[in-house]
Amino acid sequence: MTTHHPTALTSAGAAAIVGRLRTTFRAGHTKPLDWRRKQLGRLREFLVENGDAIAEALHADLRKSRAEVDTMEIGGTVREIDGLLEHLDGWLEPQHVPVPAHLPRGTSARTEYEPLGVTLVISAWNYPVNLLLVPVAGALAAGNAVVIKPAEQAAATSALLAELLPRYLDRDATAVVVGGAEETTLLLAERFDHIFYTGNGTVGRAVMAAATTHLTPVTLELGGKSPVFVDRDLDIDVVAERLVLTKFTNAGQTCVAPDYILTDPDTAAALEASLTGALLKRFGEDPKASDLYGRIVNERHFDRLTSFLGSGRTVTGGQTDRADRYIAPTVLADVTPEEPVMGEEIFGPVLPIVTVADLDEAIAFINDRDRPLALYAFTDSATTRRRLAAETSSGGLGFGWPMLQLAVSTLPFGGVGESGMGHYRGRFSVETFSHRKGILDVPLT
């Protein structure tokens, strides 16, 4: 694997990278299970051996705490790799299927996974290790060559990945290309056999448009406003604690973070006090001084987020410091759907509370909007859980603890509608990065 720096990448350079990987793929080097397992093992070694350097880069980019790096970036990716290593052989076994009785005696049918070829993984910046390497692990497990495009907004992490990954992975079958829109556009002009993009819907559309030229399948992992429905009569302190733990991780810059709360007026009032208390407990009197609290990735996102701070009534938070890219954990109450904070995905540490009369109104509110990446609910009622599952659509649905679905790689992860298409993690990654071939075998006599 070689590293290509932005200044170096030209259209001819992009063609050369993809051409080199295609030659490797065509020669069959990436197909044997041994090769795949070795690459996964090397990716795991990269993560385990470079924990300090990775943590340092993520601290520079997003002020991530070591605990968060260890659990979500390194730990989450290592667990994913371990799952692939443990189950890959079984998942790749041919699957025999029944054949109709009128076919000749002895006829058999089966499906087999075959690798797609040369793939492209384009990562977002908010979990710049996990969101890059989990799909890369899937592409390698499925026997593909892969062009790896880290997120340039997380500059220190991107530089580290570009420097170190080539020391671990097969250089003939993988390449790290660093850079932004310009470099990615050059790459997208090439023919890939699958493109896996994580980021926003606008760029997602550009990726999909580029893919049409070569009839390349795409996976788009996008975002959206993930609502949280909070039912009446719950232990509201538990709800508040879990909301704080999830919403304000990485300063709210998580694609599946709770975006806004939907609840009745009484519960909203109780939540105001509980959320304030839970924030104090987690980040102390001055969140700016807390090791557990992150920073906004850049000025553009900082300015976008501060424009939301005028919406509704500020319950707690609201303080900002542009030089430090700091926005205090903020809760807004009495927010109406027309206000700016409800107009787009927040992707930052601002949590609006919107009141609804009941579950019917909450379901209507959710269904009136784009299908979110995740929907969450806190409720004691089995009927409410059933109704939310049956009457709404979202990439995933979580009861009782937002974002914890990320710890379960036996669940597919992906969006629907505006929140994306396709899914990955575990065996779903193998499916995404493979072609499932149907094979019919009829005896000659």
Q: Which residues bind ligand NAD (CB under 6 A)?
A: 122-124, 126, 131, 149, 151-152, 180-181, 184-185, 198-200, 203, 206, 221-223, 255, 345, 347, 373, 415, 420
Q: 431 — alpha (psi -120 to 50), left (phi > 0) or beta?
A: alpha
- Counting beta carbons within 10 angstroms of the beta carbon of residue 385, is it exposed (0 to 12), middle (13 to 18) or buried (19 or more)? middle
Name the residue nearer to ligand NAD (CB basis): 17 or 151.
151
Name the residue nearer to ligand NAD (CB basis): 261 or 403.
403
**CA angle, 395 as apex, 394 and 398 as ends, to 5°?**
80
Q: What's the min distance (Å) between Cβ of 285 and ligand NAD?
A: 31
Name the residue nearer to ligand NAD (CB basis): 25 or 127.
127
Q: What's the min distance (Å) between Cβ of 178 and ligand NAD?
A: 9
Q: What's the min distance (Å) between Cβ of 78 and ligand NAD?
A: 18
Q: What's the min distance (Å) between Cβ of 297 and ligand NAD?
A: 7
Name the residue nearer to ligand NAD (CB basis): 271 or 373.
373
Q: What's the min distance (Å) between Cβ of 28 and ligand NAD?
A: 30
Name the residue nearer to ligand NAD (CB basis): 113 or 308.
308
Q: What's the min distance (Å) between Cβ of 262 and ligand NAD?
A: 19
Name the residue nearer to ligand NAD (CB basis): 135 or 143.
135
d(CA 261, CA 377): 9
d(CA 136, CA 134): 5
d(CA 129, CA 176): 13
Give me 385's structure tokens: 């859980």
Q: Residue 376 half-sphere exposure, CB side, CA atoms within 13 Å?
A: 23
Name the residue nearer to ligand NAD (CB basis): 198 or 267.
198
Other C-beta atoms closer than 10 Å to the C-beta of 397 total 16
Q: What's the min distance (Å) between Cβ of 373 and ligand NAD?
A: 6
Cβ-closest residue to ligand NAD?
Answer: 223
Q: What's the min distance (Å) between Cβ of 79 and ligand NAD?
A: 16
Name the residue nearer to ligand NAD (CB basis): 106 or 180.
180
Give me 264's structure tokens: 């009745």
Q: At what angle do helices 51-62 and 155-168 cross, to 10 degrees?
A: 160
Give me 388's structure tokens: 């939310």
Active site residues: 221, 255
